[in-house]
């Protein structure tokens, strides 16, 4: 696949926090319409990578191309306008606002009010739990419902590339299943997704390709089904014994 086919092309980026290189020489690509997973242990640099891509932390060196153009130094709000949207770990919802008001906030970069309302209705179709509680304060929702709301709000901004940071974090197994069903549905609608997820098995089963990150660097990459059967991945991230 040539470079023009990639919606996201991260080339050799370094990101530092307080003098510590959290990300070192990282290369990563996501093609239009792909769902790609990035897995690794806590502290590997996964979230820092996403934050660098969406302009929330500075890149010390290297480059990030989105839709063929370098976006290093571009403010995150401008990237949202261009369709590069992140759902952060911790969700970042507005607890005092209702569900409907939170969703409306997702359209702050748009001026097509009628279409925003249609998009909100579509989110309610994807998330019936939110539709039932649309006038409820977001702060009263369960963790899983808040995650659904954060994803729904991101969808209102009409993303071309959606960055998901640990969507299953802290959720009960049944809610994890529901959230991943929605990720799959969003991908089926043509949204390109880069997924960070501690549940490596779920992430690799859902994605087409995957990257494995360790100590700020990519140590493995490939088709997700190949990574699922890689002995080192199975031993380190899937809780299975590595066989000789």
CA nearest 236: which of 214, 204, 210?
214
The helix-helix angle for 143-156 and 173-188 (nearest 10°) equals 10
**pLDDT tens digits along 146-180:** 988 999 999 998 999 999 999 988 888 888 888 89
pLDDT at 170: 85
pLDDT 10s digits, 173-223: 888 888 898 899 899 989 999 999 988 999 999 999 999 999 999 999 999
What single-letter DSSP state applies at residue 241?
P
8: its two tokens: 């996201």
Q: Of 229, 235, 127, 216, give the one whose Cα is nearest residue 178.
A: 127
DSSP secondary structure code for residue 134 in this structure: T
SS3 letters across 24-67: EEEEEEEECCCEEEEECCCCCCHHHHHHHHCCCCCCCEEEEEEC
Question: Average of pLDDT values for 3-8?
Answer: 82
Domains of the chain: 3-237 (3.40.50.300)
Cα distances from 153 to residues 72, 74, 78, 146, in angstroms, run 25, 22, 17, 10
Per-residue burial over 44-80, b if 16 or more Cβ lie within 10 Å, else e, is: bbbbbbbbbbbbebebeebebbbeeeebbebebeebb
- Which of the 8 DSSP states describes residue 138? G
Please write the tens of the pLDDT for every residue from 93-152.
899 999 999 999 998 888 898 999 999 999 999 889 899 999 999 999 988 889 889 999
Instruction: Please tell me the distance from the alpha carbon of residue 243 to that of residue 163, in angstroms, as a whole number.
Output: 34
Q: Note the pLDDT of residue 243.
A: 45
Strands 209-214 and 35-39: parallel
Are the C-beta atoms of residues 148 and 136 closer than 8 Å to each other?
no
């Amino acid at each position: 696949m040539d470079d023009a086919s990639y919606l996201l092309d991260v080339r050799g980026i370094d990101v530092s926090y307080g003098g510590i290189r959290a990300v070192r020489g990282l290369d990563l690509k996501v093609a239009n319409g792909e769902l790609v997973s990035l897995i690794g242990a806590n502290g590997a640099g996964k979230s820092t990578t996403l934050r660098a891509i969406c302009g929330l932390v500075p890149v010390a060196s290297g480059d990030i191309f989105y839709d063929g153009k370098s976006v290093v130094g571009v403010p995150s709000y401008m990237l949202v306008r261009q369709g590069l949207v992140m759902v952060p770990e911790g969700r970042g919802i507005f607890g005092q606002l209702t569900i409907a008001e939170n969703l409306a906030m997702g359209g702050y970069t748009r001026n097509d009010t009628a279409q925003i309302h249609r998009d909100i209705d579509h989110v309610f179709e994807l998330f019936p739990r939110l539709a039932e509680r649309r006038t409820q304060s977001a702060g009263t929702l369960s963790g899983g419902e808040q995650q659904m709301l954060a994803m729904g709000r991101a969808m209102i901004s009409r993303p071309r590339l959606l960055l998901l940071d640990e969507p299953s974090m802290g959720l009960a197994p049944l809610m994890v299943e529901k959230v991943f069903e929605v990720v799959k549905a969003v991908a089926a609608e043509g949204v390109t997704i880069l997924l960070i997820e501690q549940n490596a098995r779920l992430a690799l089963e859902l994605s087409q390709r995957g990257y494995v990150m360790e100590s700020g660097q990519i140590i493995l990459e490939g088709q997700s089904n190949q990574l699922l059967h890689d002995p080192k991945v199975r031993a380190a991230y899937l809780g299975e014994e590595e066989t000789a």
